[in-house]
Structure 1
Amino acid sequence: MNEAIVIPVSFFAFIFAILYVFWTTRNKERMAMIERGTDPQSFKMRWKGTNFLSLKFGLLFVGVAIGVLVGNILDMNTSLEEGTCYVSMIFLFGGLGLIAGYLIQSKKEDKE
C-alpha cells in the first residue's frame, strides 16, 4: 500500500468513526426518551454560545495570522529553529485570540 495515502485515509476514517458513534449514541438516547414519554421539544440541542461562533473563529484566525507573521520575524532575526518560531507563535496568538473572544462574549452576556 502506498504510504502517502495511509495518513489521509486514516484521518477520514477516524472522523467518520467519531461521527458514527456520536449519531448512534444520540439516536439511542432519543429512542429511550421516546419510550419514557419525554417531550420531543427536549431533543433540540440548545447551544448558548452559537451566536459568538463567528467571532471566536474570526479572532482565532486573526491570532493565527499574527502568529505566522511574528514567527517569521523571529525566524529571520533570531537563531531559534524555524519550527519552534512558527508553532509557538501560532499557538500563542491563536490562544490569545480565543481568550479575547471569551472576554468579549462574557461582557456582552453580562449586559443582557
Structure 2
Amino acid sequence: MQNMFGPVLIVIVAILFFGTIFGICYLYFTSRTRERLALVERGLDPNFFRPRRTALKYGMVIFSVVLGMTIGDFIPWRYAIGVPLGVMLGGLSLILYYFIIDKRLGKQDEA
C-alpha cells in the first residue's frame, strides 16, 4: 500500500505558502492605497513618503561590500576575513552616505 500523504502534504504546503505570499502582498497594497487616499483627502502630496536618492545608497553599499570581500580574499591570513570586512565597509558606506545627503540637504535649505 502506497503512502498518499506525501503528495497531499506537498500540495497543502504549497497552497499555504502561496496563500501567505498573496495575503502579505494584498495587505501591503491595500494599506498603501488607503494611506495615500487619506493624504489626498487632507490636501497633501501622495508621494510624501517616497524615498529619495536610494540608488546612490544601494550602489555605495553593494560596491563597498563586494570590495571588502574581494580585499578579504587577497589577505593571506589563516582566517576568513572577507565577509566581516565586507559588512564593515558596507556600514562605513552607509555612514558616508548619511554625511553626503546631509550636506546636500543643507545646501538646499540655504538656497
Would you say same fold, with TM above 0.5? yes
What is the RMSD computed on CA atoms of the aligned residues? 3.3
Deviations 1:72-103 (A, max 9, x none): 123xx1111x3xx2321121111111111111
Q: How many residues of Structure 1 are paired with residues of Structure 2 in the alignment?
A: 94
Change beyond 3 A, Cα 1:69–1:29: closer
- Structure number with greater Rg is 2
How far, CA to CA, are the matches of 1:13 and 1:79 in structure 2? 47
If each structure's helix is expressed as a fraction of its own residues, which one has the higher value?
Answer: 1
Of residues 93, 99, 102 in structure 2, which corresponds to 1:103?
Answer: 99
Unaligned runs of 5+ in 2: 1-5, 7-12
The alignment's TM-score, normalised by the length of structure 1, stands at 0.62
Deviations 1:51-88 (A, max 9, x none): x21211121122112111122123xx1111x3xx2321
Ranked by relative contact order (alpha carbons within 8 Å, sequence separation 6 or more), the top structure is 1
Fraction of identical pairs, as percent? 28
Unaligned runs of 5+ in 1: none
Match of 1:44 in 2: 46
Match of 1:79 in 2: 78
Change beyond 3 A, Cα 1:16–1:78: farther
How far did 1:13 drift? 7.3
How far, CA to CA, are the matches of 1:13 and 1:89 in structure 2? 39
How far, CA to CA, are the matches of 2:96 and 2:56 in structure 1? 10
The alignment's TM-score, normalised by the length of structure 2, stands at 0.62
How far, CA to CA, are the matches of 1:48 and 1:30 in structure 2? 11
